[in-house]
């Protein structure tokens, strides 16, 4: 067998006789390629294929997934990679019928999935060619196809083996088109119709009647009633049902239902304003497998009367396998908390984000009954204090995620308890809280911590960050937005101790200078950097980031007045993975912007109030940047740019967002406090 593989290698490579890698069997080479086939090494496969001709040919045959930067690169891709099964065109805004014809003729025997969720300009003609020729297609994403009509739906119906179909925001498709899909695509397992506003009861009923194998169904914001819900609940394999924002569904209609789907595991009734505990009880009657229940921003748990509370408790008591309950934005009374505490199910996740009525007494009582809790979200529960954190950390010692943004009455001493008792913590959001260095020192004991958000935490300093850098080596995301006591020393400690860091936000920290960026340049995995409003950074620090952090994809340097063209040139040379940049208020001119246009992956630019930018320079840069899909510009540029230019850019897939904001040199120092509902003024 090994001899045969060696012969294959020789057959593939014309110069195999002098190839030092010829001793490797094909299995070994393919194993290497499997290892390189992940997001951590985006350019590794290319480097591998350039090693020698043998590796070049083997890599061509091995690659199954393609995500081209632009549609015009597809012809070369089609020629080199003959066995592609997964094609992601989400970076290609311009995909016309001829492109789909080319794809369907080249990969008709191998293509299994295609993503067209960000693509436009194709019609039912191109789709028909795709689905007729590529009979092996099992997954298609046509989300955001706002111009697709029932003719496109009839083309989709040709995909007889289709199992997963996403049509979110296809607002022109009607019941007739969905009926065609139902008849033609009998093997569907997943269907997303979110925001398909012309699809009603008839279309959904046809899906339920014809596609008996459906397991996941998203009907969010459809103008449907209980009429089609009755048919949906008869699907014997249905596991996930999303009815978010379906205002046509109400208690009276749901009361006619005899029994829910026995296989249902997840139910989302968010934003269903006309459904209360009565409708919930009818909808879930018999759903013994239910594991996740989402009732955010609805009326189900607006528990105003004790008898309503007891009814909700009775409804939820039957779900012995329930693990996750999300009640974001709802009104919860003490009786409602007690009802949740009395559940016999082993609850692993609770979300009370922006819930009114959550108190120390209620929350403490609840967590004592659910000690196996792993994730808890109490964002903006502004009444809780030390007592809640004491009870949470004492009862739920296996907690892995705690989100408590803007719990401003929680004292700094409470954060010491989190680190001392919750050693398994992986995520902590303490944004806009009183946490201090002692609290950070305690939290740094959580060695598995990967996400730490400390924005608007004025009591923390470099001393606390030093502990995070010393003991939280698995940290991937750090938010220090407006934590203004932080300086270069703290950032250096994090950069030295957290080599896996992928995202950091140090916006509006006046003590941060180029030294911080030079330190962060050692974080080779860094993908997102936000340094807006940091007057101490300049092109020198940004250049270090460009050279060291080659995986950088998102960069925000808004109001970094000392960054100029000298910072753009290194970005253009080294930051080949950059996809999104905010240059507003910087000192960048035409020269720097044109330099950035050489970045092949750049898609999203925000360019407001650049004093050195001219209409000609802007037009030249945008024309050269061929991958752009979204640009934010000041409205003053609109009459200065030729209409023919704007139409050409839009035809190429670029969407312009015009802003008429006045020049703002510095953000109102109290603005963020008002935004977060806080004020330091004494009445």
DSSP 297-335: TSSTT---SHHHHHHHHHHHHT-TT--EEE-TT-B--HH
50 by Cβ neighbours in 10 Å (0-12 / 13-18 / 19+) ranks as: exposed
pLDDT of residue 310: 45
DSSP H or E run through 140: strand 139-141
Whether the per-residue pLDDT at 422 is higher than 50: the answer is yes
Q: How confident is the model at residue 434 (pLDDT cuts 50, 70, 90)?
A: very high
Rounded to the nearest 10°, the torsion over CA 358, 359, 360, 364 is: -40
pTM: 0.90
Q: Tell me the two tokens of residue 141.
A: 């994403």
pLDDT of residue 483: 97
Whether the per-residue pLDDT at 277 is higher than 90: the answer is no
Ranking 438-452, 596-610, 652-666 by mean pLDDT, the lowest is: 652-666
**Any residues with CB less than 8 A from the CB of 665 and at least 6 apart, and which?**
none
Q: Cα separation of 361 and 334, whole Å?
A: 8
Compute the mean pLDDT over every residue in the chain, rounded to the nearest whole number: 90
pLDDT of residue 672: 45
Q: Cα separation of 378 and 408, whole Å?
A: 12
Q: How confident is the model at residue 333 (pLDDT cuts 50, 70, 90)?
A: confident
How many Cβ atoms sit within 10 Å of the Cβ of residue 570? 18
Q: Cα separation of 279 and 255, whole Å?
A: 6
Whether the per-residue pLDDT at 678 is higher than 60: the answer is no
More confident of the two residues 300 and 377:
377
**DSSP per position, 498-565:** -TT--EEE-TT-TT--HHHHHHHTT-TT--EEE-TT-TT--HHHHHHHHHH-TT--EEE-TT-TT-BH
**DSSP per position, 28-60:** HHHHHHHHH-STT-TTHHHHHHTS-HHHHHHHH
Q: Cα separation of 539 and 527, whole Å?
A: 19
Whether the per-residue pLDDT at 675 is higher than 50: the answer is no
Checking DSSP bridges between strand 451-453 and strand 427-429, what pairing results, if any? Answer: parallel
pLDDT of residue 257: 82
**DSSP per position, 217-236:** EE-TT----HHHHHHHTT-T
Q: How confident is the model at residue 464 (pLDDT cuts 50, 70, 90)?
A: very high
pLDDT of residue 20: 61
pLDDT of residue 681: 35
Buried b (16+ CB within 10 A) or exposed e, 243-253: bbbbebbbbeb
DSSP H or E run through 377: strand 375-377
566 by Cβ neighbours in 10 Å (0-12 / 13-18 / 19+) ranks as: middle
pLDDT of residue 5: 45
**Any residues with CB less than 8 A from the CB of 88 and at least 6 apart, and which?**
65, 66, 67, 114, 115
pLDDT of residue 46: 74
Whether the per-residue pLDDT at 309 is higher than 50: the answer is no
Residue 145, Ramachandran bin (φ over 0: left; ψ between -120 and 50: alpha; else beta) = beta
For the segment 210-235, the average pLDDT, to the nearest whole number, is 96
Tens of pLDDT, residue by residue over 38-66, are 655 557 777 777 777 777 777 788 888 99
Rounded to the nearest 10°, the torsion over CA 663, 667, 673, 677 is: 10
**Residue of 209, 211, 205, 175 lying closest to 190 (CA atoms):** 211
Q: Cα separation of 403 and 326, whole Å?
A: 13
**Any residues with CB less than 8 A from the CB of 35 and at least 6 apart, and which?**
none
For the segment 491-517, the average pLDDT, to the nearest whole number, is 97
Residue 329, Ramachandran bin (φ over 0: left; ψ between -120 and 50: alpha; else beta) = left
Q: How confident is the model at residue 301 (pLDDT cuts 50, 70, 90)?
A: very low
How many Cβ atoms sit within 10 Å of the Cβ of residue 372? 13
Q: Tell me the two tokens of residue 585.
A: 């208020």
Q: How confident is the model at residue 18 (pLDDT cuts 50, 70, 90)?
A: low
Residue 654, Ramachandran bin (φ over 0: left; ψ between -120 and 50: alpha; else beta) = beta
When computed from its CA atoms, the radius of gyration of the chain, rounded to whole angstroms, is: 28
> CA dist 297 to 275, 301, 559, 628, 655, Å?
11, 9, 36, 36, 32
Helix (H, G, I), strand (E, B) or coil at 80: helix
Angle, alpha carbons 427-429-433 (nearest 5°): 150
How many Cβ atoms sit within 10 Å of the Cβ of residue 634? 18
Residue 604 has φ and ψ, to the nearest 5°, of -130, 120
Percentage of the chain modeled with pLDDT above 70: 90
Whether the per-residue pLDDT at 259 is higher than 90: the answer is no
> CA dist 75 to 53, 68, 70, Å?
21, 11, 11
Using the 8-state DSSP alphabet, how is residue 489 labeled?
A: H
Q: Tell me the two tokens of residue 473.
A: 């080596």
Ranking 326-335, 369-378, 537-546, 648-657 by mean pLDDT, the lowest is: 326-335
Is the CA virtual torsion 512, 514, 516, 520 positive or negative?
positive
Tens of pLDDT, residue by residue over 68-98, are 988 888 998 888 899 999 999 999 999 999 9
Q: How confident is the model at residue 9 (pLDDT cuts 50, 70, 90)?
A: very low
pLDDT of residue 297: 87
**Residue of 34, 100, 31, 20 lying closest to 65 (CA atoms):** 34
DSSP alpha helix (H) spans, 107-218? 124-133, 150-156, 175-184, 201-210
Q: Cα separation of 272 and 253, whole Å?
A: 13
Whether the per-residue pLDDT at 563 is higher than 70: the answer is yes
> CA dist 201 to 158, 212, 228, 328, 483, Å?
23, 17, 5, 28, 51
What proportions of the chain, in percent to the nearest 5, are helix, strand and coil? Answer: 40, 10, 50
Partners of residue 115 on adjacent β-strands: 88, 141
Buried b (16+ CB within 10 A) or exposed e, 95-117: bebebbbbbbebbbebbbbbbbb
Residue 635 in contact with residue 661, Cβ under 8 Å?
Answer: no
Residue 473 in contact with residue 496, Cβ under 8 Å?
Answer: no
**Residue of 128, 135, 127 lying closest to 107 (CA atoms):** 135
Residue 630 in contact with residue 606, Cβ under 8 Å?
Answer: no
pLDDT of residue 22: 66
Whether the per-residue pLDDT at 219 is higher than 70: the answer is yes
**Any residues with CB less than 8 A from the CB of 475 and at least 6 apart, and which?**
449, 450, 451, 452, 468, 494, 498, 500, 501
Residues in the chain: 683
More confident of the two residues 274 and 9:
274
pLDDT of residue 205: 98
Whether the per-residue pLDDT at 2 is higher than 90: the answer is no
Tens of pLDDT, residue by residue over 334-363, are 888 888 998 989 999 999 999 988 999 999
Q: How confident is the model at residue 1 (pLDDT cuts 50, 70, 90)?
A: very low
For the segment 526-530, the average pLDDT, to the nearest whole number, is 98
**Any residues with CB less than 8 A from the CB of 260 and at least 6 apart, and which?**
233, 283, 284, 285, 286, 287
């Amino acid at each position: 067998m090994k001899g045969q593989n060696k012969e294959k290698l020789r057959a593939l490579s014309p110069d195999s006789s002098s190839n030092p890698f010829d001793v490797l069997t094909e299995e070994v080479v393919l194993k290497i390629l499997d290892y390189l086939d992940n997001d951590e090494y985006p350019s590794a496969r290319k480097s591998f294929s350039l090693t020698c001709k043998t590796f070049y040919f083997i890599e061509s045959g091995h690659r199954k997934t393609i995500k081209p930067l632009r549609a015009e690169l597809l012809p070369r891709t089609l020629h080199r990679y003959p066995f592609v099964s997964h094609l992601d065109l989400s970076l290609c805004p311009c995909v016309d019928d001829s492109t789909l014809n080319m794809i369907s003729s080249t990969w008709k025997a191998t293509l299994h999935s295609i993503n067209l969720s960000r693509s436009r300009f194709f019609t039912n003609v191109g789709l028909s060619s795709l689905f007729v020729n590529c009979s092996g297609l099992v997954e298609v994403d046509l989300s955001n196809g706002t111009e697709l009509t029932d003719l496109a739906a009839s083309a989709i119906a040709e995909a007889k083996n289709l199992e997963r179909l996403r049509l979110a925001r296809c607002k022109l498709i009607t019941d007739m088109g969905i009926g065609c899909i139902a008849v033609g695509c009998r093997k569907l397992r997943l269907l997303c119709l979110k925001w398909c506003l012309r699809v009603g009861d008839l279309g959904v009923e046809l899906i339920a009647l014809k596609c008996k194998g459906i397991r996941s169904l998203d009907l969010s914001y459809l103008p449907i009633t209980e009429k089609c819900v009755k048919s949906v609940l008869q699907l014997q394999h249905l596991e996930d049902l999303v009815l978010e924002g379906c205002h046509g569904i109400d208690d009276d209609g749901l009361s006619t239902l005899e029994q829910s789907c026995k296989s249902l595991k997840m139910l989302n009734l968010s934003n269903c304003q006309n459904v209360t505990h009565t409708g919930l009880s009818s909808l879930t009657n018999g759903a013994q497998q239910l594991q996740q229940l989402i009732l955010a921003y609805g009326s189900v748990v607006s528990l105003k009367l004790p008898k309503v509370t007891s009814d909700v408790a009775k409804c939820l008591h039957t779900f012995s396998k329930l693990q996750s309950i999300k009640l974001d934005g709802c009104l919860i009374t003490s009786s409602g908390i007690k009802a949740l505490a009395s559940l016999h199910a082993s609850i692993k996740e609770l979300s009370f984000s922006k819930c009114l009525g959550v108190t120390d007494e209620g929350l403490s009582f609840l967590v004592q009954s659910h000690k196996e809790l792993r994730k808890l979200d109490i964002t903006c529960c502004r009444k809780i204090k030390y007592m809640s954190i004491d009870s949470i950390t004492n009862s739920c010692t296996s907690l892995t995620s705690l989100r408590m943004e803007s719990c401003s009455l929680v004292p700094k001493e409470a954060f010491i308890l989190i680190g001392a008792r919750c050693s398994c913590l992986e995520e902590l959001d303490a944004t806009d809280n009183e946490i201090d260095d002692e609290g950070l020192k305690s939290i740094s004991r959580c060695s598995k911590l990967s996400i730490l958000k400390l924005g608007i935490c004025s009591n923390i300093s470099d001393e606390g960050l030093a502990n995070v850098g010393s003991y939280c080596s698995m940290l991937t995301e750090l938010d220090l937005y407006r934590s203004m006591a932080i300086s270069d020393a703290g950032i250096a400690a994090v950069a030295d101790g957290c080599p896996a860091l992928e995202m950091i936000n140090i916006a509006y920290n006046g003590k941060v200078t180029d030294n911080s960026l030079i330190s962060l340049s050692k974080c080779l995995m860094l993908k997102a950097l936000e340094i807006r409003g940091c007057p101490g950074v300049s092109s020198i620090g940004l250049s270090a980031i460009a050279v060291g952090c080659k995986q950088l994809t998102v960069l925000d340097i808004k109001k970094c007045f000392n960054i100029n063209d000298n910072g753009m040139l290194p970005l253009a040379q080294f930051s080949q993975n950059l996809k999104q940049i905010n240059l507003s208020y910087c000192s960048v001119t035409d020269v720097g912007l044109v330099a950035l246009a050489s970045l092949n992956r750049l898609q999203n630019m925000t360019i407001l109030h650049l004093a050195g930018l001219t209409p000609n320079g802007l037009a030249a840069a945008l024309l050269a940047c061929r991958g752009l899909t979204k640009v934010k510009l000041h409205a003053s540029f609109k009459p200065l740019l030729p209409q023919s230019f704007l139409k050409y850019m839009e035809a190429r897939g670029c969407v312009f967002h015009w802003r008429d904001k006045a020049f703002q040199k510095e953000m109102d120092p109290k603005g963020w406090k008002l935004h977060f509902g806080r004020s330091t003024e004494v009445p």
